[in-house]
Amino acid sequence: MLQGFGQPFGAKAQRRFLSHGRPYFEPPLVHMTLLFHIDDLLYELFPEANGERKALVEAMTARYTVAGIAPRVRMENDTVVVELDVERLSAEVEARYQDAFRECARGRFERAKPNLQQLAREVPWHADIQATLGQVH
C-alpha cells in the first residue's frame, strides 16, 4: 500500500469524502460570468484572432474550455461575455477524480495514472488531484 502524508494512500481524502456524504470539491459558485472590454490588449492576449471578432470568440471559447466543458462566449457591443457553468464543471471533474481514486484504492495505479495526469493538466488548481497524482508517481 502506498504511504503518503503519514497515513495509507487516500485515507484522509476518503474519510473527508465519506464523512460529508457528498463530493468534496464543491465550489461556492454555480455560474461565473467574465466580461472583457474589446480593445487592443484583448487582441494581444488572443493573437490567433488576427483582429477579427468571430475569431476572438472562437479563441476565447478554446481558452476557457476546461475538462471538455466549453463556456458560452458571445459579443455584446464592445464587450465579450464568457459564461462558465461552474456547477457542471465541478461535477464532471469530481466524477472523473473519484473514478481514478477508486482505481488507486484497488491498487490499479497504472490505470489511474493517465486519468490523473489528464485531470492535472485540465484543472491544475485542484489540490487533491495533484496530491493523488504525486502519490501514484
pLDDT score at 43? 96
Tell me the mean pLDDT in the region 45-57. 95
Question: Does the pLDDT value for residue 45 go beyond 70?
Answer: yes
> Which pLDDT band, with edges at 50, 70 and 90, does 21 fall under?
very low
Point out which residues pair with 4 in neighbouring strands: 7
pLDDT score at 28? 58
- The candidate with the shortest Cα–Cα distance to 91, out of 39, 135, 137, 30, is 30
pLDDT score at 87? 82
Residue 9 cell numbers, joined:
494512500
> Which pLDDT band, with edges at 50, 70 and 90, does 73 fall under?
very high
Question: Does the pLDDT value for residue 66 go beyond 50?
Answer: yes
Tell me the mean pLDDT in the region 65-87. 90
Stronger pLDDT, 8 or 64, i.e. the higher one: 64
Question: Does the pLDDT value for residue 32 go beyond 90?
Answer: no
Stronger pLDDT, 27 or 112, i.e. the higher one: 112
pLDDT score at 68? 82
Render the burial of 76-86: b for 16+ CB within 10 Å, e for the rest: eeeebebebbb
